Amino acid sequence: MTTLSLIIPVFNEDDAIRPFLDRMAQLRSQFEVELGSPAKLEFIFVNDGSLDNTRSTLEHLCRNQAEIKVINLSRNFGKEAALSAGMHHASGDAVIPIDVDLQDPPQIIVEMIRRWKQGAQVVNAKRVDRSSDGLFKRGTANLFYSILEKIADQPVHAHVGDFRLLDRQAVEALNQLNENTRFNKGLFSWIGFKVAEVEVVRPPRENGTTKWKPTKLWSLALDGVTSSSTLPLRIWTYLGASIAFLAFLYAGALIVYTLITGGDMPGYASIMVAVLFLGGLNLLSLGLIGEYLGRIALEVRRRPLYIIESKEGF
Ligand code: UDP
Ligand code: MG
């Protein structure tokens, strides 16, 4: 028996759940053909502290359909934590995290299963066309990935969201990673394994509105950089060393000059420039160290990634 688990994090998505399940019902036979018989599907909805009727809708569906399972988190922990909760509870031979808003086109799953059956252990859905995303989001996403590409210690698959197929071995590997500041896209790439790629065009959201505020996306981007690279910390060693070297040269020259000519008083501009430049540099590097330090503080507390209030259907 081959089981496919779909992990669906939901935050205030009451309007989107039924259309999502309807779409899945249409595609179900195609999934089963690819999976080979006997096949089983499992839908794990992770209710990430929704404030609307998401919870009652899910619990109603769960009571009527054995393959629907629900994890209610005790508050909104964010999509990354919600995905981890789902991953810890998935029983499938293959696991696919997917958005409920149909922006991750479900028909791609057919192709993903095919690639998996051919031996790939991680099948990425690469976003080749993001025109539905709006100019700002596309621009910032491009910038983010191009920076990350240059500085990440291990390459992070660019323009691949959380929508991908992970086989059991990859899921077990991910479940072993117990860091608190989680950047799943980085971890999915970090674990390695045989990777295949299918291309998707990301359609606009079908129901409801986006649950990401720009500030949340900014934090996610910072988490992405700090969890994938230590280069931003190391830069200061080199920059600091170069500036110190130049400063020593300049100081030496100044001493010689003063000894010879007796020195000249007007030096306000050069002193101000040096003080402001070095002060600014200090603050910038301190801030950057703070970004890492804050995350270290979070890690040493060893709090759980999420808290489950209740589970249904398991
Ligand atoms: N989501 C979540 N918790 C959050 C934010 C989002 O579980 O704090 C879920 C959301 O319900 C959806 C998925 O993550 O199923 C993707 O969110 P959204 O479509 O708003 O993101 P976008 O497509 O705009 O990047
Ligand atoms: Mg979306």
Task: Supply the CATH number for residue 79's domain.
Answer: 3.90.550.10
Q: What's the pLDDT tens digit per position in 89-103?
A: 999 999 999 999 888
Same domain (yes/no): 192, 237: no
Ligand 1 pocket (Cβ < 6 Å) reads 9-11, 13, 48, 76, 78-79, 82, 99-101, 103, 205, 210-212
CA of 79 to the centre of ligand 1 (A): 6
The model's pTM: 0.77
Q: What's the pLDDT tens digit per position in 243-280?
A: 877 887 888 888 888 888 877 677 777 787 788 778 87
Same domain (yes/no): 35, 131: yes
Q: Is residue 144 part of a domain?
A: yes
Mean pLDDT confidence for 275-301 = 80
Same domain (yes/no): 171, 37: yes
Same domain (yes/no): 158, 261: no
Q: How far apart are CA 238 and CA 46, in angstroms?
A: 45
Contact between 31 and 110 under an 8 Å Cβ cutoff? The reply is yes
CA of 212 to the centre of ligand 1 (A): 6
What's the pLDDT at 131? 74
Same domain (yes/no): 11, 114: yes
Hunting for tokens 């969201």 — which residue is that?
161
Same domain (yes/no): 65, 157: yes
What's the pLDDT at 89? 96
Q: Is residue 224 part of a domain?
A: no
Host H or E run for residue 45: strand 39-47
Same domain (yes/no): 26, 147: yes
Q: What's the pLDDT tens digit per position in 49-92?
A: 999 999 999 999 999 988 999 999 999 998 999 999 999 999 99
Contact between 198 and 191 under an 8 Å Cβ cutoff? The reply is no
Q: Which domain holds residue 106?
A: 2-209+305-312
Same domain (yes/no): 54, 137: yes
Same domain (yes/no): 189, 236: no
Same domain (yes/no): 193, 235: no
Host H or E run for residue 181: none
Please identify, by atom number, the ligand 1 atom nearest to the C-alpha of residue 48. 7
How many domains is the chain built from? 2
Q: How far apart are CA 274 and CA 262, in angstroms?
A: 22
